Amino acid sequence: MVRSFLKDTDFSPAEAKEVFDLAARYKATRSAGIIDVLKSESWGVLFFKKSTRTRLSFEAGLYELGAHPMVMSSNDLQISRGETIEDTARIMGRFLHGLVIRTFEQEIVEKFAKYSGLPVINALTDLLHPCQSYTDMFTMTEFFSDGKPTPESIKGKKFVFFGDTACNMAYSLALAGAMFDVEVVLCGPEEFKPEPVLNKLFKEANLTPTWTFTSDPIEASLKADVLYTDVWVSMGKEDEKAERIKTMSPYQVNDSLFKVANKNSLFMHCLPAHAGEEVSQEVLDGKHSVIFDQAENRLHVQKAIVSYLVGKNREMARK
Ligand code: CP
Ligand code: NVA
């Protein structure tokens, strides 16, 4: 069975640490040029939803690992005219060496993995965004380490996610945070409580639930090390826009929250941001913000995820 990366917990915590080491090495040596981990391979990068960062970072990253990246929109494939996921996946399995997918239901990436026989990377579903959460934990190690970044440096840090606590980013960050012993607090409206989805994800992964939920943004921000937010209207939720903005408006990340957070706290956002909604312009552009380091790290961390996964699959094939 070929391994894929469909959920944050598809790597063990020990493996995730090795992925971080590799990402740091890739970051430090990028200027040395293309490496040949994926030499002569063709990788598909398939989008059912819009993207800027994921598209750029995977296309550049796969190229830098030696592969030929083939970026596709589902609108341009026969899938948009009714061809099944199963058949599309089987066809891709005959041409490609790996696949990166951004789509709606988690079941779609699972089907692609099952029917293509390829290693599949989840580049965002309605349920999870594990490439982003790994990148965010990695970025924290850079800011909280003295010297060489280490995963130990984020152990016990208080990480607060504000707003839509029932979205892909909230779920992925709660899972990845637990893997790295980060104290994750989810802070949002009662209507967007993360249970029962998060309880199910933790149970399936055999992981002890360590996250907590509160509806009080000031209480959540007290002595926090990271204040994180994401859009209030995720892709596919556009019909609920007006209602979501109204319900989530008490959860905007602004200077009042940083007043009670730790002095050296970070502001993080997966982007794209909507200044004036989930975050104030001052915070977005302010001294706590590390949003562009986060965005850049998508490249290094995803290169590490892909090559680590491919390495594991090659090791299994040799046995
Ligand atoms: N953060 C993120 O995944 O950005 P894109 O939607 O632009 O890919
Ligand atoms: N929750 C957002 C994340 C975007 C990177 C969405 O799904 O649209």
**pLDDT tens-place string over residues 222-270:** 999 999 999 999 999 999 999 999 999 999 999 999 999 999 999 999 9
What is d(CA 110, CA 113) in angstroms, rounded to the nearest whole number?
Answer: 5
The pLDDT of residue 56 is above 90:
yes
The pLDDT of residue 71 is above 90:
yes
In this predicted structure, what is the pLDDT of residue 209?
Answer: 93
User: Among 2, 53, 6, 33, which residue's Cα sits nearest to residue 205?
Assistant: 6
Mean pLDDT confidence for 31-38:
96
What is d(CA 62, CA 237) in angstroms, rounded to the nearest whole number?
Answer: 30
The answer to whether 53 touches 295, Cβ cutoff 8 Å, is yes
What is d(CA 228, CA 159) in angstroms, rounded to the nearest whole number?
Answer: 7
SS3 290: coil
Q: How many CB atoms lie within 10 A of CB 203?
A: 11
What is d(CA 19, CA 104) in angstroms, rounded to the nearest whole number?
Answer: 26
In this predicted structure, what is the pLDDT of residue 139?
Answer: 98
User: Among 297, 302, 283, 315, which residue's Cα sits nearest to residue 67?
Assistant: 302
Query: Whose alpha carbon is nearest atom 1 of ligand 2?
Result: 234
Mean pLDDT confidence for 287-308:
98
Q: At what angle do helices 168-179 and 197-204 cross, to 10 degrees?
A: 40
Q: What is the mean pLDDT of the chain?
A: 98
Atom of ligand 2 nearest to the CA of 271: 5
- The best mutation among 47, 49, 50, 54 to test binding of ligand 1, ranked by most ligand atoms within 8 Å of the C-beta, falls on 54
pLDDT band at 1 (very low <50, low <70, confident <90, very high): confident
Is any ligand 1 atom within 6 A of the Cβ of residue 132? Answer: yes
In this predicted structure, what is the pLDDT of residue 310?
Answer: 98
Residue 69 β-bridge partners: 43
Residues with CB under 6 A from ligand 2: 124, 129, 167-169, 230-231, 234-235, 270
Atom of ligand 1 nearest to the CA of 124: 3
Mean pLDDT confidence for 277-294:
98
pLDDT band at 147 (very low <50, low <70, confident <90, very high): confident
Is any ligand 1 atom within 6 A of the Cβ of residue 53? Answer: yes
For ligand 2, the distance from its centroid to the CA atom of residue 291, given in whole angstroms, is 15
Q: How does pLDDT run across 72-109, given as a tens digit for each residue?
A: 999 999 999 999 999 999 999 999 999 999 999 999 99
For ligand 2, the distance from its centroid to the CA atom of residue 179, given in whole angstroms, is 22
